[in-house]
Amino acid sequence: MKLYVQNKRGKRIYINKVASTKLELKYELGRNEFSINGERYYIRDVRAQKDTNDTYIGIIVGGILGLIVGPLGIIVGGATGGIIGSGSDARKLKHVKKFNRSKIK
């Protein structure tokens, strides 16, 4: 999961911190506001997004590994990799939603 704020021009500025909620991020930063490139932001402005798409990565890796076995191995490996990657994507999306819904108390 990647954390970011949007500057006044709408560009995403990524934050090199790890937190599962906005309250946790507040404790990580030590305060409710912070500056990046001279612009002031607040914890409430921070959003999260998924960092990778594991479904496609799983399909590619599974397909490549399936090459060893042959055509059937490509199909089975790609499908298995896609299923595993899809589960990982679902977990990541759950964490993103949790962060984005969180509040600072």
User: Do both 61 and 39 map to the same domain?
Assistant: no
User: Do both 9 and 42 map to the same domain?
Assistant: yes
User: Do both 45 and 73 map to the same domain?
Assistant: no
d(CA 95, CA 12): 19
Q: Is the pLDDT of residue 85 over 70?
A: no
Q: How many domains does the chain have?
A: 2
Q: Is the pLDDT of residue 89 over 90?
A: no
Q: Is the pLDDT of residue 90 over 70?
A: yes
User: Do both 36 and 71 map to the same domain?
Assistant: no
Nearest to 13 by CA among 69, 67, 38, 80: 38
16-59 tens-digit pLDDT: 998 999 999 999 999 999 999 899 999 999 999 877 666 666 66
Sorting pLDDT into bands at 50, 70 and 90, what band is 86? low
Confidence at residue 70, expressed as pLDDT on a 0 to 100 scale: 72
Instruction: Report the 10 Å Cβ neighbour count for 18.
Output: 11
Give me the domain span that covers residue 77: 54-101
Mean pLDDT of the chain: 82
Q: Is the pLDDT of residue 98 over 70?
A: yes
Determine what percent of the chain is predicted with pLDDT higher than 70. Answer: 67
